[in-house]
Structure 1
Amino acid sequence: MAELITSAYDGPKITVDELMADPTYIPQRIIEDLDNAFVEDLFFRQAEDNQGVVAFREAAGNFLGDDAEEIAEYGEIPVSAPELGNLKAAFGIKTGEAIRISYEQRHENKIDAVTRAIDALERTVVRHGINAVFGAFTAAAVPELTASAPWTTGDPVKDLFDAIEAVQGAHEDGDTTRLFDYDPNTLLVHPQALTKLLRNEQIQKLYIGDVAHDNPLYKGMTNVQLFGTINVATSRLMPLDQAYVFEAQAAGFKSDTMPLTATPLYSEGGESQIGGPTMSWRSDLVRKRAIAVDNPKSVVRIKGL
């Protein structure tokens, strides 16, 4: 008789020793789990790899430096060049973390402890990426709005449209006629903030699109679409009282000196059948990346949800 499977935990059980039989299995799993798991994929476009430092220019209006001119007969057609923003540099920062599997975990089959270590490593790396993004936004002075009131009882529709309008109307400093033409199309919030939003009476009055889309950009994308144009993404590592409205992948860029890399399991202090002098095996996860915000006005942060 065929074996019946009634849950994810039914069927053949895999042991820690079997997981470690191939030293590349666990690091490959970590890399696969982290694919499309980083919030920076929402905000930043992928730039070419760098050698530790990359130069970039801040956003300028998409216009030539000179306006079109009237030309007299036999007059020379004037030539101009696009306007350029201030020149800046971003530096690659190397970050990393590692996990260990002990001799006891391997030979006493403590699979739960190993799984928790892998999950904690992945969550820590994602959290570090989020903090790096928000730190870059603070340094770049991303525009901010304060919610009219907490979203439980306030008017989130007004708050969201205020943010949308701010992104749409973003312009060069000192010249309101030179717009950046950003297209705000994404909202990022904590899942609890999304629940507050969807329960709010002001939102319930409006059409909430239950649009299933297969956007592979980021695993936190939901099937909720607001106002027919705004895709919603969530992260459990977001602050509960903040939301971001922005044009996807317009805020800046990410450039790698070393892409996300995980080493095969190895014994510290020398290979041996019992895991070296510490009786453990480890896998190191490391990445060296530069991120830069060259279009800060394509993002608006809403505070006080």
Structure 2
Amino acid sequence: MSEHDIFLHDGQTEYRLTVEKGEPWGESPWLFTEKDTKDEFDFLGEGSRQTRFEKGWVLAHNSQKYEIKDNGNCRAIGNIPSFNRILYELNGTVDFLSSENERYRISCHADKDSTETYSIVGKVLLEALNSYPIYVGFPQINISNTEKSRGQYRTQWRSLHCQGKSWNGTANDCVGPVWIRLVDTTNGIEVFRRKIYVLPKSFKLDRMISAEGLPGKYRFYGLGKAKVTTENGETITEIEHADIIEVSCPSIKNTSLPQLLVKLYWPTHGQLTISLPYPQRGAMLQLAGKTLQYDDYVSLDRMGGLRLLLQDPIGSESYWIEAEPLMANHTSSQSI
């Protein structure tokens, strides 16, 4: 599923805005209920959910098994091979269990539908060009529209690199690609889960933009035991006893900047890739997380989503953007 998110940030911390049906659907079971219109269904949510309707329809991963609870019933009625999911029709209460015994509970004929919404909030690396947020330090899971006490939930995480290991309840040593989840401590039911990418809380970076043909540089602080590599073999220097790693990027004869892909690898936590602007004077246009190349086309209704990055070591220069509107049987050029 594609990710469509809206964020607000205050210059230090980025806050995800809750968008109806805007979250990408994850690995948990997906619950649907029937609309008033025959043979049409509403997506109610994922994970552990309840509905006031007598029946529900769940798409669960092929590897997940079900367990009947409280006079419930459940039967498989189809599958979607492209999603690796089986479609179940159910009533009453049914638990779905993953191959590692994580438990999700679906309840029908409840007093009301689930209204809880979940979002992940934390400090993000604003310099990164990745299409997904990279968190600096362990983020928090926010719960909205719930009558339950926040104290009955526990946030846990587990590295994607170490499937099968136990979940961690503290933020210590949380780095790399990880699962983050919310568990109801009263019954052990998992209510929410997401895959996220985390840098150490101590992480910082400095960028030195190249000038007059000299190399541009990045300095990374607080990476601990991470091994750093780049896709194109830029020079990497480790400054001993200072926990500093320097990446030197040679000057290139191109004002349309490429991306610098920095790969961080922790032996016990796997690999995280950061996409950064090449540290050289120039410009870059991005749309939906992808860097545009010279002569690429952008439709007018997507112009509001363009992201322009300008880099200059002086910081007081003026720039021209040349845009060429293209219309049927007519082409004109305009500088902005």
Select the structure that is richer in helix.
1
The alignment's TM-score, normalised by the length of structure 2, stands at 0.21
The alignment's TM-score, normalised by the length of structure 1, stands at 0.22
Select the structure that is richer in strand.
2
| Higher RCO structure, 1 or 2 (CA under 8 Å, sep 6+) | 1
